[in-house]
């Protein structure tokens, strides 16, 4: 990597955390996924990668546990243009359905949103697979909760995998609001489609449906949920 002064202010045109590490020199690679079509409340999570890049310039990089972690090299990849282009029409379709689109039109919107979700999954998978094969440390930066699926699937194909899921929600809903790749369905999809994920351990869950609670109890120990109320 180029000479880096950890005590200096980051320049505005530098990379993540003020680094300018080339892809080839980075042990840690972050994949941005600016997609958040199915969010249920508010919006704007698709702008997360850009916002975090900007905010990261104010973060010091010396780590209590690992010391000069920046010496390993940290590189933020460019987002897939196809994913960038897919967000707005998919989000518009979700908003139209929330506003009460006519039934046949709404069904078309659901198909379009599901297709966009599948595109995101495949894009991230194609981005992450060579990184894992090169034994890099991979980070995924969203976007809404649906977006890690491609990375999880890629990692689980290479070795047995457990997931630590820190969230207020269980995200075990089946095709929430009709969308197969909903932000509220990520852990359901992992359970159903990634058999090599042996366990999901959830921390801080405090808002869940009865159906999700049934899914937790019916997972034969594959889902361990530590509810917020119990920790309190």
pLDDT, one tens digit per residue, over 181-192 is: 999 999 999 999
pLDDT number for residue 2 = 56
**What pLDDT is stored for residue 205 in this prediction?**
96
Closest CA to 136 of 118, 150, 160, 154: 154
Check residue 52 and give its pLDDT: 96
Give the model's pLDDT for residue 88. Answer: 98
The pLDDT, as a whole number, for residue 4 is: 76
Percent above pLDDT 90 for the chain = 87
The sign of the CA dihedral 112, 181, 29, 166 is positive
172 in Cβ contact with 187 (< 8 Å):
yes
User: How does pLDDT run across 111-130, given as a tens digit for each residue?
Assistant: 999 999 999 999 999 999 99
Q: Is residue 143 within 8 Å of residue 45, measured between CB atoms? A: yes
Find out whether 65 and 11 touch, Cβ atoms under 8 Å: no
Distance CA 56, CA 42 (A): 23
What is the structure's pLDDT at 131? Answer: 97
Low-confidence ranges of the chain (pLDDT < 70): 1-2
Q: Half-sphere exposure of 176 toward its Cβ, with a 13 Å CA cutoff?
A: 23
How far is residue 134's CA from residue 14's CA, in Å, rounded to a whole number?
Answer: 25
Q: How far apart are CA 6 and CA 173, in angstroms?
A: 44
């Amino acid at each position: 990597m180029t000479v880096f002064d950890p005590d200096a202010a980051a320049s505005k045109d530098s990379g993540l955390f003020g680094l300018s590490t080339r892809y080839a020199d980075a042990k840690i690679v972050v994949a941005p996924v600016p997609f958040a079509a199915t969010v249920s409340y508010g919006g704007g999570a698709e702008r997360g990668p850009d916002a975090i890049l900007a905010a990261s310039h104010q973060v010091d990089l010396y780590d209590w546990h690992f010391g000069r972690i920046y010496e390993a090299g940290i590189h933020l990849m460019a987002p897939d243009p196809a994913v960038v282009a897919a967000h707005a029409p998919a989000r518009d379709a979700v908003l139209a359905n929330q506003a009460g689109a006519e039934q046949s039109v709404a069904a078309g919107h659901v198909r379009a949103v599901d297709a966009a979700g599948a595109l995101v999954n495949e894009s991230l998978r194609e981005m992450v697979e060579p990184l894992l094969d090169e034994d890099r440390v991979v980070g995924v930066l969203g976007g809404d909760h649906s977006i890690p699926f491609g990375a999880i699937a890629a990692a689980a194909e290479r070795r047995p995998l457990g997931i630590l899921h820190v969230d207020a929600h269980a995200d075990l809903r089946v095709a929430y609001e009709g969308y197969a790749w909903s932000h509220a369905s990520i852990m359901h999809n992992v359970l159903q489609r990634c058999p090599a994920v042996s366990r999901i351990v959830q921390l801080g869950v405090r808002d869940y449906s009865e159906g999700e609670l049934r899914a937790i109890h019916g997972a034969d120990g594959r889902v361990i949920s530590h509810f917020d109320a119990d920790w309190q």
